[in-house]
Amino acid sequence: MLLLMLTACGPSPDATTPDASAPDAATPGASAPGDDAKSSAAETIPLPDETSAEVAEGPLVVFLGDSLTAGYGLDEEQAFPALVAERFAEAGQPIEVVNAGISGDTTAGGLHRLDWLLRQRPDILVVCLGANDGLRGVDLDSSEENLRQIITKAQAEGVQVLLMGMLIPPNYGPDYSQQFAALYPKLAAELKVPLLPFLLEGVAANPALNLADGIHPNAEGHAILAATVTEALEPLLNATPR
C-alpha cells in the first residue's frame, strides 16, 4: 500500500518535470532534478485574478503539492482541491481555491516557488509534499528543513497552514521509512499546525479507487480524498475571518 502511495506522486504524461518514479531519478542525498523547471511551471498556475471565472467571496486556499494534488490523469475539476471547494460551496461556506500541484514536485521545489504563491495573499496553505523526497532518497534533514521553511514562511505572512502527512514503504529501510513518517507529526507539534496523518487513507492500494496504473487515485478516489481534506480543513476555515 505504501509503495503505491509513493509512486503516485510521479509526473503526469504531459509533465515537463522528470519522472520521480524512475530508479535513476536521483541518488540518496542528491537534490531533486527539475526544480528550476517546476519554478517556471508555477507561474502558469491559474490564479483567481488571472481567470475569467467568477471569484468566490470566501477565503483563499492554496494547495501546494505534487501529482496527487494536481490530479494525475484527471481533469482539474476532478482533483480533490476542486472537490473540496465544491463541498464547502454546497455547505454555504464558499472558498477560493488555487491548485498549485505540480507532478514530480519535492519539498525543495515547493519551497522554491512558495514566495510567488504567497504573493497571492492566501488565507490557508495546504502542504501536500514530501513523498517524492522519500522516493528519491533525499536526506531527511533536508526534507524536514524544507518543510519547516515552507510552514514558517507562510506563518510569517499570517497564513494558516494545514500539513498533509506522507508515508514511504519499508523497503527503503526501516530506519529511513520510520524517520520519514515521524517528520510530519514532529513538525506539526513543533510549529503548532494541524496535521492530516496520511492523505491517501482509505484510497491507497484499492483498485476500485485508482486509475489503471494502480497507483494514482481515480475520480472516485479523489472524492474520498476531498471528504478527508474537507474535514481537516473545516476548523481552519471556521477560524478565518470572512
Which entry of 67, 103, 143, 177 is annotated as an active-site residue? 67
In contact, 8 and 132? CB cutoff 8 Å: no
Which entry of 36, 141, 175, 213 is annotated as an active-site residue? 213
The residue among 54, 5, 46, 25 whose CA lies nearest residue 136 is: 25
Cα distance between residue 78 and residue 72, in whole Å: 10
* Known active-site residue 40: no
Number of CB atoms found within 10 A of residue 148's CB: 17
Which entry of 21, 66, 133, 216 is annotated as an active-site residue? 216
Helix (H, G, I), strand (E, B) or coil at 213: coil
In contact, 200 and 216? CB cutoff 8 Å: no
Cα distance between residue 16 and residue 230, in whole Å: 30
* Known active-site residue 222: no
Cα distance between residue 223 and residue 23, in whole Å: 31
Cα distance between residue 73 and residue 177, in whole Å: 28
Q: Grid coordinates representing 2?
A: 505504501
* Known active-site residue 67: yes
Q: Grid coordinates representing 94?
A: 464558499
* 149 to 13, 51, 118, 156: CA distances (angstroms): 30, 30, 13, 10
Q: Active-site positions?
A: 67, 213, 216
